[in-house]
């Protein structure tokens, strides 16, 4: 596993964001010798549309220049994952799920034949050998509860593209006990296993 980190921030807030603070702490825990590529989703990402789908399902040798341009951002986002040994995703839970920008990122990187493939026994992810650490914050939703549609989704979609080593650092239900929740989250960061 390479000592490079892809950091993805999904919070719409650039200041005062708990998930961003936790990502800062995780990056520091991983060590100062890691090279970090930062992808901030606060400005949003384009949603996939008919032109994107048409380009994606056209065989690469047959794509027009316009279709290649349409897939350029997706190719860049996938290259960032391919180059990283560890992916750190900082995200809040918005209305019981992930922010729209993070869902847009997933749509742009989950590509058949590129990051996963279908086989007779089911889909197989093509981005194996990587680790993901997800820092997730919520105001009232308990992570892992029946109303949390963020954590399980992220674990599944990361596994779908081949990333099965996924750790969570959770700061959930901040509106109920902010002090206790933050202490627990900081303790979780301190307890993260670090590769020798």
CA dist., res. 149 & res. 151, Å (int) = 6
DSSP character at residue 61: G
Question: Measured on CA atoms in the order 89, 91, 95, 101, is the torsion positive or negative?
Answer: negative
Core vs surface per residue 14-30: b (16+ CB within 10 A) or e: eeebbbbbbbbbbbebb
Has 4 been labeled as part of a binding site? no
Structure tokens of 175? 């509106």
User: Any known ligand binding at 18?
Assistant: yes
**Alpha helices, DSSP H only, in the chain?**
18-30, 50-56, 65-70, 72-83, 100-109, 151-160, 178-190
How close are the terminal C-alpha atoms of the chain, in Å?
11
DSSP state of 47: P
Tell me if 17 is assigned to a ligand binding site. Answer: yes
**Euclidean distance between CA atoms 192 and 169, whole angstroms:** 9
**According to the annotation, is 11 in a ligand binding site?**
yes
- Binding-site positions for FMN read 11, 17-19
- Binding-site positions read 11, 17-19
């Amino acid at each position: 596993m390479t000592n490079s980190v892809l950091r993805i921030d999904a919070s719409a807030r650039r200041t005062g964001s708990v998930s961003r603070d936790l990502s800062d702490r995780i990056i520091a825990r991983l060590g100062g010798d890691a090279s970090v590529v930062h992808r901030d989703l606060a400005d949003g990402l384009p949603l996939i549309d008919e032109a994107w789908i048409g380009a994606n399902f056209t065989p690469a040798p047959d794509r027009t220049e316009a279709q290649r341009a349409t897939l350029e951002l997706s190719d860049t986002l996938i290259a960032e994952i391919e180059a990283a040994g560890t992916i750190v995703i900082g995200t809040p839970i918005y209305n019981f799920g992930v922010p729209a920008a993070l869902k847009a990122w997933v749509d742009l990187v989950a590509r058949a034949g590129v990051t996963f493939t279908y086989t007779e026994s089911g889909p197989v992810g093509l981005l194996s050998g990587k680790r993901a650490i997800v820092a997730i914050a919520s105001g009232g939703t308990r992570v892992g509860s029946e109303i949390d549609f963020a954590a399980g989704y992220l674990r599944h979609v990361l596994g779908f593209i081949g990333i099965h080593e996924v750790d969570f650092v959770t700061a959930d239900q901040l509106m109920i006990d902010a002090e206790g929740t933050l202490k627990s989250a900081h303790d979780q960061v301190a307890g993260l296993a670090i590769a020798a």
